[in-house]
A = this chain, B = another copy of it.
Amino acid sequence: MLVLITYDVNVTTDLGKSRLRRVAKQCVNYGQRVQNSVFECLVDPTQFAELKHRLESIVDPNTDSLRYYFLGSNWKNRVEHFGAKVGYDPEGVLML
């Protein structure tokens, strides 16, 4: 199934930037980074439980938020893109 994961973090601090990098590192094991803080992860329920556990141990729940959207297996019909192509350099210019 495809799980879309969106992450809101304050990257005006070095700690925030570091958390974003760590979240990205976990997510790209299972899929791709489609926007700066948006990840599409192909996981089965066990993998999702593991990923979720790891992410929630990284983020600061007082300041950051994670949202998970379950797009199921028929996800290709549920996604549309406009504009600059997918593909993100995590070390590149700050985008949001």
Contacts and interface: CB of A to CB of B under 8 A. Distances in A.
Interface string A44-69: 00000000100110011111111111
How many copies, total? 2
B37 A61 contact: no
B8 A35 contact: yes
B96 A84 contact: no
Interface of A: 4, 6-12, 20, 34-38, 52, 55-56, 59-72, 77-86, 93-96
Given A6-B35, A9-B95, A36-B96, 14 more contacts: A8-B35, A8-B84, A12-B94, A35-B37, A37-B96, A62-B83, A62-B84, A63-B83, A66-B83, A67-B79, A69-B69, A69-B71, A71-B78, A95-B96
